[in-house]
Structure formats: structure tokens, C-alpha cells
Chain A
Amino acid sequence: MPSSQASIQDRFSKLRGLGEKALVLFVTAGDPPLAELPAILGALEEGGADLIEIGIPFSDPIADGPTIQASSQRALDRGVNMEGVLSAVKAASVSIPIVAMGYLNPILRMGVREAAQRFASASISGTIVSDLTPEEGADWIKASRDQMLDTIFLAAPTSTDARLDLVCKDSTGFVYAVSRTGVTGTGSAVPSDVLSLVTRIKERTQLPVCVGFGISKPEHVRMVCGAADGAVIGSWLVQWLAANWQGGAGRAALIEQIRELKAATR
């Protein structure tokens, strides 16, 4: 294992010691342009992010709403490819864990062993593959274990108990609880039944549980962190960066926003 892969497990243990929950932030690689990614990651860490999900753009993101679709498309239009994403991630000097989030086909295209190896050597600690479930995951899980990459599977409000068993069995690092029956995107409120999903997951595993989809405000973070171990913010940040990063001019304002969100995890 390359020593630069930060441990997701250690991060959550540390947070537990501090009595805090995790602030997990999603950014699309390549939107803003890839050259900005190391600086953006640095700002997110400085603001208090505990873990970062790097969205690997895909042409057909069926689990994503309009914000992340448009962002992925902008990244692809800029010619972003896997090689570029991995070297930008490698170039970032952050100490918090980085997780790659994307769709299966670009991984298959590279070959699962090769992909796992390259993710690991880019200091990536784990992956979330939106269109991969445990039933089809055996090859990716094996390739990931060989490279000490965590495999984070999604649990949904529609998941049956038997399915939650599978998701918990094959996940490492944490379990990602989808807050609602729907695609990614911001919403005015986080459905309160996500808390019962978190409880159902926690009955099955010691792993931390993070809740994502539709979380955009400190009050959402606070609500979710009442039951879960972390909150994931995606579309809101993607939108914010596209509008306000401005080649780094928005750095101070970004750090301010992230601090507010992080405060809601304490």
C-alpha cells in the first residue's frame, strides 16, 4: 500500500474521539478546470472537510440530477480524462482521505486491476461506483482489496433488509446512505425517514454511515448528523464552485462556507 493513502477508518476514529461527525464534500474533477483541483482540495481541507469525494466525469450519469450532469459535461468538454484526474489528485497535498466517485464503465475500460492500482497510487483511499451493487461487485471488490482501496456501497430507502446485509458485508470505510428515492441534487429539506435507514444500517455493521443526496445547508448537516456519522454535500458545492471559485478568487469565501458546514457536525 502506498503510504500516502490516508485511512478512512482512522479519520472516523479520530472524529469519534473528538465527538464530531464527518463533513464529506463532493467535487467534480475538471469543473472548475482540472488545474484548479489541487487548490480547491486544499481550501476544502482548510475549511474543515474530513473526506473528499472526487467525481470522475462520465457521459451518462444516470444517478445524477441536472447540477452534476451539467458539471460532468463541462469537465468532459474540457477534455478531462482519467489520467489527468489522477495526476491532479496526486498533485494535491491534502492529508484527509480522498474517495473517487463515478460510474463503472471507465473503470472496466481501464481494466479493474489496473484501475485499482492506479487509484491507489494516486493516493485515493476508496471508491463509490454509482451503478455497481454488491451482486456485480466481486471483481472490483477483489481488485480493491489487493490495493487497500475501500469499497463504499450505497444503501437506499428502497433497500430491503436482505440487501442492506449485502451492502454492509461488502462495504469498507463507510456505508453511504442515500437520503431519498431519487437522483443527486439539492432540495429544500432532507426526508426524515433517512434516519430510519441509518438505524437499519447500524443494526448490521460497525462501519460509519454517511448520508448524502439533497444536503446543502448547515441545518441539513445537523439533522443528518443526529443519527449518522457524516453528511455528504455534492450538488450545492458543485454549483457554488462553478459560480464562485473564479480561478481561486473565491477561496476565502469558500473556506468560510465550509467552516459553517463543518460547525454543524460538532
Chain B
Amino acid sequence: MLTQPDSRGRFGAYGGRFVPETLIPALDQLEEAFAAAWQDPSFINEFQGLLKNYVGRPTPITFAPRISEQTGLHVTIKREDLNHTGAHKINNALGQCLLAKRMGKKRIIAETGAGQHGVATATICALLGLECEVYMGVDDCARQQLNVFRMRLLGAKVNEVTSGTRTLKDALNEAMRDWVATVNTTHYVIGTAAGPHPYPYMVREFQKVIGEEARAQYLEEYKSLPEYGIACVGGGSNAIGFFAGFVGDPSVKLFGVEAGGLGIESGSHAAPLTAGEPGVLHGSFSYLMQDAEGQIMGTHSVSAGLDYPGVGAEHSHLKDTGRVEYFAVTDDEALTAFKEVARLEGIIPAFESAHAFAPLWMKDRFPKGALVLVNLSGRGDKDMETAARLFKL
């Protein structure tokens, strides 16, 4: 079992709250409201009811016969791509929007990189009748344009962010600035397991359904636990939700796969746990990519959802304790896996999720015949334009 953060919102040395004073009272309220809701059967029933009947949970696990044959492993996939809107993001968006409604907040803001969290939030806001504004870097709007259209159709306002790196980091900055000015009426739905306390904990709690389901399903199907669990790590929400099911099982080795971009040595990557050092960004103390002056570095990944210099605090803790091993795969390795998964299994993964598959083809990562469970965090429809260009489809 993963533990609760301490009273200062720390997982080991990591986490806490490093935000302008203006936001602290709202974080206190949020912490209290979440704690109360998470013990309230009526809230939990509503959350679980909508996960079942609206999101379509439980998502299945699927044996991957042809990948298994090709790699000499026994590979099973947790299918978060089959959720409504196509990714795990909706688990958290649903939980936080229900909480916002309970807190009487009628306006919702969110940041998004790949657009999956933005779409999920816009979707739940449509369902619950909440006003929704999403911040998205202009570069990401261009590479994930279909998701911009989806958000607009769903009634959300999409604010293109032109500052800084024009990707996820700066979308988060803009959303924070909006929240500083609107905190009395607005809830900020952070889309990953990062940010100030209580976000990393709350997001994990809303996402842990992934790992809890997967564990029970695997046990039922195979009468054993997997030997390995793998997930991709951007800010870390799908990974922490998935790991939550297995952290208490010492026999299950856990891998978190970061975006290695053009290669760690190139410096053009988005792998803070693999190649960064701890510091403060976006309200929490965690591993991040920074220069010698403590300025946050620009990142690169083919995957917009992983293209982020920070990571959720609990992952930093799991890295330091050694419970999870984190490493990076390159754009090329992820893109190769993207194609292989499509051709061998008839499943098109998101570029983000393709990172979690890439290690299957790496020599020496797994012993022959190992039982491996991969978390497929989302489907790849959003990436088809880029894929068409890269692969000349």
C-alpha cells in the first residue's frame, strides 16, 4: 500500500506546498473537502457509479499474444485506452469535478499537454454543467489539434499559451496565474500527480482504481501476480495510479518510463527522475530538470503529455526508496513501439503510452518468459496526424 503524505504533504522529503500565499487557504479547503468526501459513502458511490456507467469502467486487461511471441515475454495490457475520452485522465477529472461541485465552485480550469486531460475535464464539465477553461501551449495545440477541436465542441474555452516553452510547463504556469486571481470561485483541476499538496495525493487516490482493478483482474485471470509492472511517467498520474495496486507486493518489480527524447546525453529530453535533481516547481519539491542557476530547463519529447520538466512528488520518493526503477526511452524507441503495438495487437497507443511498451524490446530488461503487465494509459487517435507525417502513412 502507498502511504498518506505527512501533515505537510510530504512523501519522504518530497512534496509540500510552494505557492503564493493567496492560494494557501484554497489548498487548505481543498485538502479538507477531499478528506471529507473520500470518507463519505455518497460521494464515493457517485464517483464509482459514474466511473462504471459513464466512463465505462472497469477497463479490461488484454493478453498480447503476438508481442509476447516476438519478445519471448508474457505480456498483458491494462486497457485505460478504453475509457470514455480515450485515456486514464478522466478518472481524475471526474473525481476533482465532483469535488468542485460539492465545494460549490462553478468554474473549472485545467492545463493540458496532449489535450487528453483537457478533453476529459471539458467532458466532465459538460456532464456536470460546469464552466470550463483549458490552458494549452500553442505548440501543443498544433500537434494535438484534434483535441483542441474536441474541447471546443464540448463547450470549453481553450486558451493558447504563448509564454516560455509554449508547452505543458507554461500551460501550468498560466493556469496557476488564473487560479491566483479567481480562487474564490474557481477550482483548478490539475491533470497529473504533481503540484502542491493535496494534489499529488488526491490525484493518486482518484487514479488508484487503475492498479486496484488490474491487480484483481490479473489474479483472477492467471492465479498469480505479474512479475513486472510498467507505466509511462509524465507528471506521473497514470503511473502512480497503476503502481498503487502493486507497491505492497514486493514480488512485483515496477518500472516507470520517462521521455528520453533525443537521448539523455543530448540534453533534449523530459526525464527528471532519470537525469534531473530535486528542486521546487509548480508548488512542490520534487525531481526536475534545472540548470546550474536553478532555472527550469526546456524539454523535448515527441509526446506532448510527457514533455514536462517536473514530476509528481511521490515518484521522487519511490525513486529514492528504490521501490520503483525509473529510466528513459527515446523518441525513436517509443515510435518503434507505437508501430509494433499497432501491427502486432491491433491497438494504437498514445505516444505517451508507447513509451511504456518500448522496454519490452530492450535486451536485458526482463528475463525470458517474464510475466509483464503494461499500463496502456491512452489511445493514439490524437497522434495520428504526427504519425502520418513521421511514417508517411
A residues adjacent to B (C-beta < 8 A) = 58-65, 69, 73, 76, 81-82, 103-110, 130-133, 135-136, 153-160, 163, 167, 178, 181-183
Contact = CB atoms under 8 A, between A and B. Distances in A.
B296 A105 contact: yes
Contacts of B369: none
Given A59-B164, A109-B279, A163-B25, A133 B294 contact: no
Given A62-B20, A163-B25, A178-B21, 15 more contacts: A59-B295, A59-B296, A60-B170, A62-B19, A62-B173, A104-B280, A105-B279, A105-B296, A108-B294, A109-B292, A131-B280, A133-B18, A158-B26, A159-B22, A181-B180
A135 B7 CA distance: 11
A163 B21 contact: yes
Contact of A181 (B164, B176, B181): B181
B54 to A, nearest CB: 33
Contact of A156 (B21, B293, B295): B21
A69 B163 CA distance: 9
Interface in B285-324: 290, 292-296
A13 B358 CA distance: 66
A64 B170 CA distance: 13
Interface of B: 8, 16-26, 28, 163-164, 169-170, 173, 176-177, 180-184, 279-283, 290, 292-296
Contacts of B282: 60, 62
Contacts of A82: 293
Nearest to B296: A59
Contact of B25 (A60, A81, A158): A158
A52 B331 CA distance: 47
Nearest to B174: A62
A106 B20 contact: no
A119 to B, nearest CB: 14
A146 B293 CA distance: 23
Contacts of A182: 22, 180-181
A144 B280 CA distance: 19
A154 B292 CA distance: 28
A228 to B, nearest CB: 17
B177 A183 contact: yes
28 contacts: A58-B294, A58-B295, A60-B296, A64-B177, A76-B295, A82-B293, A103-B280, A105-B279, A105-B281, A105-B294, A105-B295, A108-B279, A109-B294, A133-B18, A133-B21, A135-B17, A154-B21, A155-B21, A158-B23, A159-B25, A160-B25, A163-B21, A178-B20, A181-B180, A182-B22, A182-B180, A183-B177, A183-B181
A136 B21 contact: no
A60 B294 contact: no
Interface centre among B22, B24, B176, by most chain A C-beta atoms within 10 angstroms, is B22
A53 B181 CA distance: 23
B21 A159 contact: yes
Contact of A132 (B18, B169, B173): B18
A181 B18 contact: no
Contacts of B290: 105, 109
B283 A131 contact: yes
A-B complex: 4 closest residue pairs judged by Cβ atoms: A109-B294, A106-B294, A182-B181, A156-B22
B8 to A, nearest CB: 7
